[in-house]
Structure 1
Amino acid sequence: MNRGAQAVVMLFFGGAILRATMSDVYLRYVKQGLRPFLIAAGILLVAAAVMALVHEFRDHRQTSDQPDDDGHGHNHSGPAAGWLLLLPALALLFVAPPALGADTASRAGSALTSSVQEADDGSWGDYSPFPPLPSGDPVKLTLLDYGSRALYGEGKTLRDRQVQLTGFIAPGADGQPMLARIILSCCAADGMPVKIGLSGDVPHLPADTWVQTTGRWVPQTATDPINGSDIPYLEVDTWQKIAPPKNPYD
């Protein structure tokens, strides 16, 4: 693979990154906040590839009457297997992978592991580490926010309030459906599920079906058999099936 071919591969990579960031495809791979960095990386790759192609074209014109080996031991060709590097770029251009979903939730432990320092007696008393919820019911919460308030705040800010959660259906260890959503630290490779148990009007739908639920906190938890984390519960009042959101991750 000569320098021109390497530049073509780099051009495809840069173009694939830019195409993904111009649509919602990049959200299948990384967090939304990384979009500016991806755009900058794509532009740099395309610019570098164009410059390399221009230099290669000029060199080719100057040495068009010379053999492939210029006599100084510099062979401009390389293994044809280098073209296989185009496959990931082509896949990024033409194949949109599904977002992480119920399969990931069933194989990974809940992200709601203990990370909040409690009072010395193991409870918060009248104090809650979370601010009060905004007025008006139902109040929209992420699964991470609801789960954190339910477990680490002992549900104090959730009592007598109706909340609205959005996630996908995932099977629990007991076979009953849970509400889940994947959270990312950086990219899909480090995705971890937030799992919320459901009681009351439970939606019995196929795995990976997205639903919007309204309900109330209940002092009920289960143990995640994968990592031993507590799984808080929501008593469902109403639910409706919805289309998958553009950004599937929390």
Structure 2
Amino acid sequence: MNRQAQAAVLFLLGAALLHAGVTDLYLRYVKAGLRPLLLASGAVLIAVALATAWYERRRHRRTRADAHPEPRVAWLLLLPLLALILIAPPALGSYSALRSGTALQKSYAYGPLPAGDPVPLSLVDYASRAAYGHGRSLHGRAVRVTGFLALDSAGRPYLVRMALNCCAADAQPVKIALTGALPPVLRPDAWLEVTGTYTPRLIHDPVNGGPVPYLRVTAARPVPAPHDPYDETWNT
């Protein structure tokens, strides 16, 4: 691979990163807060590619006999480019959730619930209030939570969101066990918007022993997968 080819590959890599950042494809790989860095990286790669092509053009006096072959390993730069262009991995789902322990963490404080009936809450917020806040802020209030379904080997249903620290590689599940008025057909990985009330019932995750609170379901309906399937509120 000569330097002109390297410049072309760098340009395509930068363009692919910019495309991922602009079209939200990047949400399959990293958390939303890293978008500016991703766009900046793409811009830098394009700038380096253009500078390399300009520099090589100025060296037009060098003959082919004087040129030295570039290492073939440089062609490996095409692999991440092909992955970005050809492969759009699905968001992690029930298979990963059931094989990882809950990542639920205790919050420092629980503020009052927002207005609304039912109250819209993130799955992580409900789980933390139920497990560590002992449901004190949830008594007497109906809540609405969204997540995807996972069924364990015993058929117990969970509502799950995968929590991100940095990127999809470190995603971990936060789980809520469901009871009450469940849909007659439960399909793993289907997204549900669940309305329900707090119940003190709690179990421990068989993978890591972490707390998994219950939600008593009063209504549930299928919904499309959200724009950003990952939850970033667990470590904030």
State the TM-score bracket (shorter-chain normalisation).
Answer: over 0.9
Structure 1: runs of 5 or more not aligned: 70-74, 118-128
Query: Within 2, Cα distance between the matches of 1:66 and 1:143?
Result: 63
Match of 1:192 in 2: 172
Match of 2:91 in 1: 99
Aligned length: 230
* In the alignment, structure 1 residue 80 sits paired with structure 2 residue 45: no
Query: Within 1, Cα distance between the matches of 2:65 and 2:20?
Result: 40
Match of 1:228 in 2: 209
Q: TM-score, normalised by structure 1?
A: 0.87
Match of 1:52 in 2: 52
* Deviation, structure 1 residue 14: 0.8
Query: Within 1, Cα distance between the matches of 2:111 and 2:71?
Result: 61
Structure 2: runs of 5 or more not aligned: 232-236
* Deviation, structure 1 residue 66: 4.5
Query: Within 1, Cα distance between the matches of 2:18 and 2:95?
Result: 29
SS of the counterpart of 2:201? Answer: strand
* Deviation, structure 1 residue 2: 2.5
Q: TM-score, normalised by structure 2?
A: 0.92
Residues 1-250 of structure 1: pairs in structure 2 closer than 5 A: 1-59=1-59, 61-63=60-62, 65-69=63-67, 75=68, 77-113=69-105, 115=106, 129-203=109-183, 204-250=185-231
Q: Runs of 4+ in structure 1 displaced over 6 angstroms? A: none
Letter of the structure 2 residue corresponding to residue 249 of structure 1: Y
Query: Within 2, Cα distance between the matches of 1:230 and 1:141?
Result: 18
For the 8 Å contact 2:92–2:162, the answer to whether it is kept is yes
* Deviation, structure 1 residue 4: 2.1
Query: Within 2, Cα distance between the matches of 1:221 and 1:84?
Result: 50
For the 8 Å contact 2:107–2:128, the answer to whether it is kept is no
Letter of the structure 1 residue corresponding to residue 190 of structure 2: T
